[in-house]
Structure 1
Amino acid sequence: MYPFLRLAKTLAKSSLDFKQGDKLRLTDTATYQFTVQLNDIDNFLEMNNGRIFTLFDLGRTDFAIRAGLGKKLLENRWGFVVAGSTIQYKKRIRAFDKVTMKTRVVAIDGRWFYMEQTLWVKGVCACHALLRTAVTNIKTGKSIDSQDVLNQLGYHDVSLPPDEWVQAWIDADKLRPFP
């Protein structure tokens, strides 16, 4: 089940943080802390990989609100979607572990915002994801040009080209056959 209570808490806390001046620049890293709950684990008594992606949604929500994108999404009737991802799991995350999630934008091109998200337990990175995200028009479902989004946010001269590893993923993903 989707964590609606956590979502409500995230929306409230992130909005309050933004109003109180805890804002992020697009190049900042957002941190989001939580404790693994029993409904987050699977039959192997570790955090379920699907739940990790769901909780990454909350990290991106926090980032979007505190970076000012949340307000623009509402004003312009935009959505914020994931169009692709890759993830590596390095360490098990168990029930009741205290986790720090880090979210940041690592690259921007004409259509996509590439975001990196990590989960940390006791100072060790437990998993690392790269996501291709876009801002979309809610009515048409079409993506909004990244520069238009940046302009709305007041970033007229931002250039964030992909690092070598991000570009390699972008290139490899273009070769992927889609049924």
Structure 2
Amino acid sequence: MYPFIRLAKTVAKSSYQAIKGKTITPTDTSQVEFICSINDIDNFLEMNNGRILTLFDLGRNDFAIRSGLGKKLLTNRWGLVVAGSTIQYRKRVRLLDRIRIDTHIAAIDERWFYIEQVMYCNENPASQALLRTGVTNLMSGKTIPTKPVLEALGYPDLTITPSPWVQAWIDADKLREFPQN
């Protein structure tokens, strides 16, 4: 089940931080913290890999709210979409472990924002994800180019060049064959 209570708490905390001036810029890293609960673990008594991806969603929500994107989404009737991702799991997360999720923009091109997220378990890196994300028009469902989004945020000239591994993932993903009927 989706963690709606955690979502509500994250949105409330992020909104409160934004109101209190604890905003971030698109080049900053946001951080959210959780404790691994009984609802997060699987039959192997560790955090389920699907739950890790869901908690990364909450980290991106915090980033959006505190960077000002959340308000622009509501004002402009925009939405967020994940168009691709890759993840590595390196350390098990067990019941009652403290976790922190760091979220930042790793690169921007004409169409996509590439988001890197790292989950730390008891201060040690546990998993890392790279996501190709976009902003969409809720009415048409079409992806909006990054330039108007950055302009709306007040950063019209912002560029973030991908690191070599991020660029390699972008290039490799273009070669991927999507299944056909």
Assess same fold via TM > 0.5. Answer: yes
Q: How do 1:52-67 and structure 2 match up within 5 A?
A: 52-67=52-67
Alignment-derived partner of residue 15 in structure 1 = 15
- For 2:36 and 2:122, how far apart are their aligned partners in 1? 13
- For 2:121 and 2:92, how far apart are their aligned partners in 1? 9
Q: Report SS of the residue matched to 2:2.
A: coil
Which is worse superposed, 66-75 or 11-20? Answer: 11-20
Asked if structure 1 preserves the Cα contact closer than 8 Å seen for 2:77 and 2:137, the reply is: yes
Instruction: With the length of structure 2 as denominator, give the TM-score of the two structures.
Output: 0.98
Q: How do 1:79-118 and structure 2 match up within 5 A?
A: 79-118=79-118
Alignment-derived partner of residue 119 in structure 2 = 119
Residue 123 of structure 1 and its aligned partner are, at CA, apart by 2.0
Q: Report SS of the residue matched to 2:39.
A: helix
Q: Report SS of the residue matched to 2:143.
A: coil
Q: Does 1:172 find its partner at 2:172?
A: yes
Give the AA of the match of 1:18: A
Alignment deviations for residues 62-87 of structure 1 (CA, whole Å, 9 cap, x no partner): 00000000000000000011110000
Alignment deviations for residues 118-143 of structure 1 (CA, whole Å, 9 cap, x no partner): 11012210000000000000111101
Alignment deviations for residues 1-34 of structure 1 (CA, whole Å, 9 cap, x no partner): 0000111111111111101000001000001000
- For 2:50 and 2:59, how far apart are their aligned partners in 1? 15
How many residues align? The count is: 179
Q: CA RMSD, aligned part only?
A: 0.6
- For 2:71 and 2:169, how far apart are their aligned partners in 1? 31
